[in-house]
A and B are shown apart, each in its own frame.
Chain A
């Protein structure tokens, strides 16, 4: 019960943020919530199942383009476009998994990176359709849901919160389910899991596909709420970012992805205001994290003080 209370309390605090944050910061928080959904998906694969992927930019951009292209080309509205984005992310993840999960460890990381780069180059190659690096802006008509304009501050914030809350509560339910325990078992000892009758390939494929559904949802939400679709979201930077969010917040914790996204976003914002070498400050913060809290903020808190933290 306390798990659900904690997560609902966070959602309530975020809901209240629209009343006490400036529109600028509320928009940033909406962006953070969408990126946190992406990181939640990464966390299911990496934090819970032990799949260290460098290909999640492919899944994010799959969701983004699966939502954005029908909206751009055929005038789909936000609802169908969002569903198409989720499905797109899941399908690409399943396909990626069928191929990449034949490898493991460092090889898996390299193969996923290779596919993500191939995806990025494909987006650039078909620039007349995809917009390439410049991308394209979604028409206002594609950013409405049941007559509500999602490009305005409050609807955008509330939609981002709704997607975030759904993703968060689903991830909590998932990791507390039997399948969630199976994912952890796979992460801890694949051979031992096999000895208990689990097929590692099936479990990992399911976890990666779930991860892709989250990444697809995040990509589609980003396209619809912020009105931009571009190949820059398929670059390696967007494969590394969710990893950093998860490592910062705590891999294998349900709230870690949000906390990591929030801290990293704030850190980059603050560092950008101080110096053009802001990446140096972010790097130094990560070094400090690795030295003093190698399991991430919430991972360390769970290990030392709050053992029930999911």
Chain B
């Protein structure tokens, strides 16, 4: 199983942001997207989800074309997206957020149980409104809600940004569990240590294109490639 993207071009009105992106994500692997600010990492995830209309290129999941579909139909094909900034439904409780997330599969209890096993802290907060959760708990809920869609590909945009170390560790454990469960994870991440810990492959973006993709194995924090593409 793979998510296959070829020549994806997209932008905001007259401004082209993605200029023919070629990308591949495999089941049971974590593929990180790295690059300096403004190279199009978040825009790429939005384009995959149909939020940013593609003007050229193809997106296929297991050979099924996804490009051109309305945004609300894409989750039904197995893609789920956790955007930067979490974007929960603040007035709804944790349980209600999860229920809203489970539309596609009719809120089956088995999926919900699996999600709560992955994030036991949420089980204790089911009746709490999402807006009152801590930052880390909100991030857990955002990922949990996306998992209620039973995705084959999970897109995460900087999921540990601004969180305390203990929360980062919990979320990273959850991401590794998802990988072990066969989910293809596409992770936008700026921190090299996180990439080295989590990723199987890393794709470096430059000016709206994937400039280079390589296995993470063998890379170190001070590898030249990080200085070249990320500037650290």
Of the 9-residue stretches A6-14, A90-98, A138-146, A176-184, which lies at the interface with chain B? A176-184
Interface of A, helix, strand, loop or mixed by DSSP: helix
Contact B92 A194 (CB under 8 A): no
Q: Are A192's CB and B72's CB within 8 A?
A: no
Q: CB within 8 A of B92: which of A185, A196, A198?
A: A185
Known: A185-B89, A192-B87, A307-B129. A199 touches B51 (CB 8 A): no
Contact residues, A171-208 vs B (CB, 8 A): 178, 181-182, 184-185, 188-189, 191-200
Q: Is the CB of B103 within 8 A of A198?
A: yes
Chain A residues lying within 8 Å of B129, measured Cβ to Cβ, are 307
When distances are taken between beta carbons in the complex, the residues of chain A under 8 Å from B101 are 196
* Chain A nearest CB, measured from B116 CB (Å): 18
Closest-by-CB residue of A relative to B107 is A178
Tell yes or no: B135 within 8 A of A by CB: no
Closest residue of chain B to A202 (Cβ to Cβ) is B72
Cβ–Cβ < 8 Å partners of A189 in chain B: 87, 89
B145 contacts partner chain A, Cβ-Cβ < 8 Å? yes
With contacts A188-B91, A192-B89, A195-B51 taken as known, whether A200 is within 8 angstroms of B100 at the C-beta atoms is no
User: Cβ of B89 and Cβ of A188 under 8 Å apart?
Assistant: yes
Interface size on A, residues (CB 8 A): 19
> Which residues in window 18-55 of B have CB below 8 A to A?
49, 51
CB distance from A221 to the nearest CB of B (A): 31
Beta-carbon nearest neighbor of A198 in chain B? B72
Q: Once bound together, how far apart are the Cα atoms of A280 and B96, in whole Å?
A: 42
Residues from chain A with a CB closer than 8 A to the CB of B83 are 192, 195
Say whether B120 faces chain A, with CB atoms less than 8 Å apart.
no
Bound: A288/B64 CA distance, A: 57
**Within 8 Å of chain A (Cβ to Cβ): is B90?**
yes
Q: Can you list, as one digit per residue, whether each of B208-230 has a CB less than 8 Å from chain A (1) or not (0)?
A: 00000000000000000000000
**Interface residue? B104 (CB, 8 A):** yes
Chain B minimum-CB-distance residue to A189: B87
CB 8 Å contact bits of A197-226 with B (1 = contact, 0 = none)? 111100000000000000000000000000
- Picked from B49, B91, B92, B107, the residue with its CB within 8 Å of the CB of A195 is B49
Q: For residue B72, which residues in chain A have a CB less than 8 angstroms away from its CB?
A: 194, 197-200
In the complex, B71 has a CB within 8 A of chain A:
yes
Contact partner of A197 (CB less than 8 A), chosen from B75, B89, B90, B96, is: B75
Q: B residues within 8 A CB of A181? A: 92, 96, 99-100
The residues of A that contact B80 with a CB separation of less than 8 Å are: 195
Contacts of B81 in A (CB 8 A): 195
B6 at interface (Cβ–Cβ under 8 A)? no
CA distance A247 to B99 in the complex (A): 28
Contacts of B76 in A (CB 8 A): 197
Q: Identify 6 residue pairs between A and B in the complex whose beta-carbon atoms are under 8 Å apart, listed by A's number.
A: A181-B96, A194-B71, A195-B51, A195-B80, A196-B104, A197-B104
Nearest 9 A/B pairs, CB to CB: A197-B75, A188-B89, A194-B72, A199-B72, A197-B104, A194-B71, A192-B87, A185-B100, A185-B89
Question: Which residues of A from 211 to 266 have beta carbons under 8 Å from B?
Answer: 252
Interface pair A188/B90, CB less than 8 Å apart: yes
Which of A188, A193, A195, A197 is packed against the most chain B CB atoms within 10 Å?
A195
